[in-house]
Structure 1
Amino acid sequence: MLSALITQFVVLWAVIDPIGSVPVYLSQTSHMSEKQRRIVALKAVGIATLILLFFLIAGQFLLEAMQIPLPAFQAAGGLVLLLFALSMIFGESKPDQETKLCSHSLSHSDLAEAAVYPLAVPSIASPGAMMAIVMLTDNHRFAVMEQVVTAGLMLLVLIVTLLLLFSAGFIHRIIGRVGASIISRVMGLILAAVATSNLLQGILDFYTLA
């Protein structure tokens, strides 16, 4: 039982990737105040939690009802993540964005938009995380209590993610605007590699199953 719990925790940690979400969070909130960053972090983790809980409860029924194979879902998610990664690499640098945005106040809708994309989706509630939670709570293989335990492990990983995002403000004060810009470009390359891997794996699995 313990080994199964450890395995599930490792899988959920890998697909949610709390550490990997920090650079994305920094790139999205580098021009915001500390209070605004905390609001974005809370909203992002809250939204991601709701999405993953939805897939935990209804994901299997939804995909089976729509006759959507999991590999196709993975490939689509990888493509979305790749497009975001390319925007991080080739988009406007963070210092330039800060120069334009620091003189403008941000509304609640602006903060909500920053929290939803790309932080909540696809960074925290990634396609891989959605698929993993569906597979780890397969109604044909796992009892209700086992699914409840999996849900608890998922919430634990999300709490760790929130704590890391709260600490990201301290990291930002150390690295500054130039450091944030460098992290954005480097993480864009890493995200592009991860996204391409997900996309190709989804395509491979789709034709293998077919």
Structure 2
Amino acid sequence: MDVTFAIKIFSALFAIINPIAGVPIFLSLTAGMAPGEQRRTAILVTITVAIGSVVSALAGTAILEFFGLTVNNFRLAGGLVVLLLALSLLNGEDSPAHAGSAAEQKTYKTASNVAFYPMSIPLLLGPGSIATLVVYAHEGRSTGQEMAFWIGLAAFLIVLAAMMITAPFIGRVVSPTVMSVTKRLMGMILAAIGVEMMVTSLTALFPGWTH
């Protein structure tokens, strides 16, 4: 098993889903809930993200083939989405792809089950993270590193669960400045991931372009 590939999967998911930035959003959506209800919501968020991640990883390629698309086509589009998300983070803004449009955000206040919508989808499991899962799951299968992919994904889900369950504590000890710095750091990592995905796709689609 390639430990480096597993670390790459973990790092990519941590950067794009960014559970640290998700903590204050989770707290605002669950404000007024009893501690037990907050923990239940955190567990439901983790389960929803885990199911969505597994489905994306296992069925992503088959869905693309159904629509007559290749992984390289999706990798190029996904790299562009990730890059746009990274630019939003670097500017200290929330991308509509993850935060939702203005009209969608108005419904957040009346959502009865915030664990699924909007916390899990689209705030955590959005277009960028789904594209990343599909692309890296295919890469893991094609290079014989499928086990490393699942280990990296499992490690991230464990960290996500821990951060969601301990969100009230994290919200008390982590300052807004740390959140802002983390957002921009994740933006830099995401920018590199997005560029890598686009370059890999272009190299596969146009083999002669590097020469």
TM-score class, shorter-chain normalisation, is 0.5 to 0.7
- 3-state DSSP class of the match of 1:67? coil
Counterpart-to-counterpart distance in 1, 2:70 and 2:120: 29
Counterpart for residue 203 of structure 1: 202
User: 1:162 & 1:108 partners in 2: Cα distance?
Assistant: 21
8 Å CA contact 1:85–1:189 kept in 2: the answer is yes
Q: CA RMSD in A?
A: 4.0
Match of 2:119 in 1: 114
Aligned to 2:157: 158
Query: 2-side partners of 1:206 and 1:40: how far apart?
Result: 43
Query: Where is the helix percentage greater, Structure 1 or Structure 2?
Result: 1
Corresponding position of 1:66: 67
- Kindly indicate whether residue 175 of structure 2 is the aligned counterpart of residue 170 of structure 1: no
Is the alpha carbon distance of 1:134 and 1:55 closer, same or farther for their aligned partners in structure 2, counting shifts above 3 Å? farther
Q: Could you tell me which residue of structure 2 aligns to residue 31 of structure 1?
A: 28
Task: Return 5+ residue gaps in structure 2 as ranges.
Answer: 95-104
Q: Aligned pair in 2 of structure 1 residues 175, 57: CA closer, same or farther (>3 Å)?
A: closer
Distance 1:69 1:83, change over 3 A: same
Q: What CA distance in whole angstroms lies between the structure 2 residues aligned with 1:121 and 1:68?
A: 20
The 1-side partners of 2:181 and 2:58 are apart by: 39
Change (3 A) 1:37 1:78: farther
Q: How many residues align?
A: 190
Aligned to 2:78: 77
Offset at 1:56?
4.0
Q: For the Cα contact (< 8 Å) 2:87–2:191, is it kept in 1?
A: yes
Alignment partner, residue 134 of structure 2: 130
5+ residue gaps, structure 1, are: 93-100
Secondary structure of 1:108's partner? Answer: coil
Contact 1:56/1:137 (<8 A) preserved: no
**CA shift for structure 1 position 19:** 9.6
Q: Look up the match of 1:180.
A: 179
Distance in 2 separating the partners of 1:180 and 1:134: 32
Q: Distance in 1 between matches of 2:110 and 2:18?
A: 22
Superposed CA offset, 1:22-64 (max 9, x none): 3332363363438587566444433332233224433333333
Counterpart Cα distance in 2 of 1:199 and 1:37: 39
1:181 and 1:157 map into 2 onto residues whose CA distance is 21
TM-score (norm 1): 0.63
Q: CA deviation at 1:192?
A: 3.5
- The structural deviation recorded for 1:122 is 4.7
1:178–1:29 distance in 2 versus 1, CA, 3 Å: farther
The 1:198–1:169 alpha-carbon spacing in structure 2 relative to 1, beyond 3 Å, is farther
Distance 2:39 2:208 in 1: 43
For normalisation by structure 2, the TM-score amounts to: 0.63
Identity of aligned residues (%): 19
Distance in 1, Cα, partners of 2:196 & 2:203: 10
Residue type of the partner of 2:18?
S
Q: Distance in 1 between matches of 2:179 and 2:28?
A: 10
Does the CA-based 8 Å contact 2:92-2:180 persist in structure 1?
Answer: no
